[in-house]
């Protein structure tokens, strides 16, 4: 099976200094993929800058111009969390374009699946605003390209970043052709992602939120995948699955309180791969979102790619389980509420 990899040093041009979302995230990950010789088994996919027409499938012209103006003016803060530098606009164009290119390669069958190791991330970016470290909504742009440019009718987006992808939800909240499913810690930034946020009009029941309580770990995430993500996917019958792959629910990542391990991410990736094989000819694209503990991020991405390649994954976890062993949380009532809300 062929697996594509999108990466380019241009992503380092989004210079953020000691901001938690910085270039070391993708540099260290690429170093691990190279030293473990995984890159030799991957098909390189050269990113291209997103075309303006593709950006405008998702974002307002004013938003695109604001990001460009901020970067070309030397950089600055677009909100309290989100900054630009002189190279940020170009990096953001190549991040959005890289995910779209990976999606197109998978749709054409040039590769079966792909991982887009891009930054800046995207799932908080709304139609009109940058926020939460995100400039353009990379996965949302790829989904719209898949539908409007390549004629797909059903795109499933699964988001396992620890934060709710409010931008992706807002963009597709009334969209009948995209189902958005999110597992996230709740409450946590940005404060959205309640079960009751389920879509409107033609998008009713096409937004499925799984707001997990703090300290949830592998057990809780896998229950959510098995009891919610799998039946949602089977009901929708997607033609491609796009994944907003944030690794910040790892127990070692201090941006959240979650307790996921590298092995947990590998099992989530395995479920998604099985769904893609069952439902959409294996069409599956992962795009990097969060993940700020450099070692946890690099090894979790590596495990995900091993799953895509059909290799044993998760055997060399340098961090292991949470030091306190974690604790089982009863999420049964939450899952039942979601099942009832969406008539699953």
Give the confidence band of 171 by pLDDT, cuts at 50, 70, 90.
very high
pLDDT at res. 261? 97
Q: How does the average pLDDT of the chain come out, rounded?
A: 97
**Average pLDDT of span 174-197:** 98
207 phi and psi, to 5 degrees? -115, 120
Task: Characterize the bridge pairing of strands 155-159 and 284-288.
Answer: unpaired
Q: List C-alpha distances in Å: 311 to 116, 211, 227, 261.
A: 19, 31, 26, 18
CATH classification of the domain holding 111? 3.40.800.20
Q: How many helices (H) and strands (E) does the chain have?
A: 11, 10
Q: Give the predicted TM-score (pTM) of the model.
A: 0.98
CA nearest to 161, candidates 31, 329, 277, 297: 297
pLDDT at res. 326? 67
- pLDDT of 93-137, one tens digit each? 999 999 999 999 999 999 999 999 999 999 999 999 999 999 999
How remote is the C-alpha of 262 from its chain's centroid?
16
Q: Pull the structure tokens for residue 129.
A: 């605003």
Domain range spanning residue 43?
Answer: 3-324+331-341
pLDDT at res. 314? 75
- pLDDT of 7-59, one tens digit each? 999 999 999 999 999 999 999 999 999 999 999 999 999 999 999 999 999 99
- Positions annotated as catalytic residues are 124
**Structural domain total, the chain:** 1
Is the pLDDT confidence value at 168 over 80? yes
């Amino acid at each position: 099976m062929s697996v594509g990899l999108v990466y380019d040093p241009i992503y380092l041009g989004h210079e953020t200094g000691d901001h938690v979302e910085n270039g070391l995230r993708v540099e260290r990950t690429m170093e691990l993929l190279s030293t473990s010789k995984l890159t030799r088994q991957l098909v390189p996919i050269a990113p291209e800058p997103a075309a303006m027409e593709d950006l405008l499938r998702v974002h307002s012209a004013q938003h695109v111009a604001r990001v460009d103006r901020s970067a070309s003016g030397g950089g600055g803060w677009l909100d309290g969390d989100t900054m630009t530098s002189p190279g940020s606009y170009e990096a953001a164009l190549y991040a959005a374009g890289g995910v779209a290119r990976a999606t197109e390669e998978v749709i054409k069958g040039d590769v079966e699946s792909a991982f887009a190791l891009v930054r800046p991330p995207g799932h908080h970016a709304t139609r009109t605003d940058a926020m939460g470290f995100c400039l353009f909504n990379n996965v949302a742009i790829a989904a719209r390209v898949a539908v409007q440019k390549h004629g797909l009718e059903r795109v499933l987006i699964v988001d396992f970043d620890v934060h709710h992808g409010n931008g992706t939800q807002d963009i597709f909240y009334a969209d009948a052709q995209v189902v958005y499913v999110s597992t996230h810690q709740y409450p946590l930034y940005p404060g959205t992602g309640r079960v009751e946020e389920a879509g409107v009009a033609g998008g009713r029941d096409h937004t499925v939120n799984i707001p997990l309580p703090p300290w949830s770990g592998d057990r809780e995430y896998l229950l959510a995948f098995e009891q919610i993500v799998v039946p949602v996917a089977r009901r929708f019958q997607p033609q491609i699955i796009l994944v907003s792959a944030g690794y910040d629910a790892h127990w070692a990542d201090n941006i959240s309180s979650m307790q996921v391990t590298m092995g947990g991410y590998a099992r989530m990736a395995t479920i998604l791969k099985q769904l893609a094989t069952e439902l959409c000819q294996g069409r599956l694209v992962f795009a990097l979102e969060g993940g700020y503990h450099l070692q946890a991020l690099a090894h979790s991405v590596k495990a995900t790619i091993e799953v895509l390649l059909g290799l044993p994954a998760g055997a060399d976890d340098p961090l292991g389980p949470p030091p306190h062993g974690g604790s089982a949380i009863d999420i049964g009532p939450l899952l039942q509420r979601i099942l009832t809300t969406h008539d699953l």
